[in-house]
Structure 1
Amino acid sequence: MIEQKQQKNQLPKEIQTAFRELKILKHLKTAGFTKQLGFSYSYLFQIVFMLLFHHKNWFRLLESSKGEFFPGKDAIYRFLNHAAYPWRRFPTFLSAFTIQKVHSLTSDKRVTAFVIDDSMFERNRSKKVELLARFKDHATGCYYKGYRMLTLGWSDGHTFIPVDFSLLSSIRCGRELLP
């Protein structure tokens, strides 16, 4: 009988501290994430989170020497695309908690505000991406393919914490606008 050990905690110690301080896994649960079978939602979230810091995609991670210890790609894709998971509520809970921590560390005299930012999110090399549209950047006068990213954030003049965001597309999108 061969014992297979799974790495339940994928985070380095530096990031573990931030996860504990910001109570990220607690906010996942509060937002409504639940999973009854297979790998836990916290384990899958930690794996996806760490891919950003390793600059790898899921396919390359599974091809690596440690690939046999990770769940299959279907488990990750089901986790990320599950319609019942409240992906919009989670960052809101996390942002509210983070804002409370930052606000308690700063002076009450400091002015705080909500900031709405409308930035471009370019996907110039993409061809067949859902709702891809052509936009004009009014700052440079150039056109680009992509989306408009509308972000709501909190700021105290020195700190900016995003609260929510939305990727926006043009009403006329798709092939008729693309060259």
Structure 2
Amino acid sequence: MELLARLYDHCENRFLRGFRMLTLAWSDGASLVPLDFALLSSTDPCNGYQGVTKDLDRRSCGAKRRREAVTKSTALLAPMVRRALEAGVKARYLLMDSWFGMPAIILALRPLIPVLCMVERTPKILYGFQGKRLSLDGIYRALKKRRGQAKILSSVVVAINDGEPARIVLVRDRRKKDWLALLTTDINLPDEEVVRIYGKRWDIEVFFRTAKQFLQLEKGSQARGFDTLIAHSTIVLMRYIFLALEQRRLDDPRSLGLLFHACCEEIRDVTYLESLKRILELAMAQTPPKDPATTDIYAALADAILGQAILYFGLQETIYQRSRDIAA
């Protein structure tokens, strides 16, 4: 398979064969819309099972996608955000997890949009604090924390590599009885707002779960072509947009998974009726009647068949609804 690579899965703690998917999405906390994605292979040739096999024009979309696949994900963030903003997408903040919370990435994105992300606790990353270069652990030890069971332990304004200010908010991690650090380039944003806004990033995790479990992002295509995988991923994202739009339009309390199954059942019934109608129309066109009386007979026969089909599906829906009511 073209560009297939050996990639490390941090959830299962082992190497797998496949691709990584970098996704940019827009969310207001109620609905999420995927905007852009990149299907990534490995940047290390030693981890690749197959390189580029097609000879394509460098200006074509296929060639651009293949160059994108062997580029580091951190180098793709700024172009993705720039494309979305140039397309007219309006957003107040860019939310990222700790994988992209590096000073170099934040500095590249700062001119485009304010950044709000989680940062890792590592001694390799230092911030300017009180005239010193300290790690997150060093800053935590130097700060005075709030007492009791406060969710926000403390906050401080630090300097990143270029000397520009950024605010770090330390929050309590109740799962591990530890603490986490959130960083924002908007230093005027209150601490409570930093925590509240970053909580909206969970929507993209729900998106990935829905795309994998219901929309068959992983197993919906058995093709071995890289272009086919790009097309399949695009279709999955479009299907998710349709579901999110329907849920938003109807203010539907159902989850996207339940809404997906309901839409599939509806589409299956409508497709059958439309197909039956099309078959009858073709049959009438292939056997043209010789007089108007015969035309009326054919039309009445087609109406009778379609009417019985509609009644049949209506009866099946009534039986299904009654069985659900009895079970409830």
The structure with the greater share of residues assigned to helix is 2
Of the two structures, which has the highest relative contact order with CA contacts closer than 8 Å and spacing of 6 or more? 1
What's the TM-score bracket when you normalise by the shorter of the two chains? Answer: 0.3 to 0.5
Q: TM-score, normalised by structure 2?
A: 0.22
TM (norm. structure 1) is 0.35
Greater Cα radius of gyration, structure 1 or 2: 2
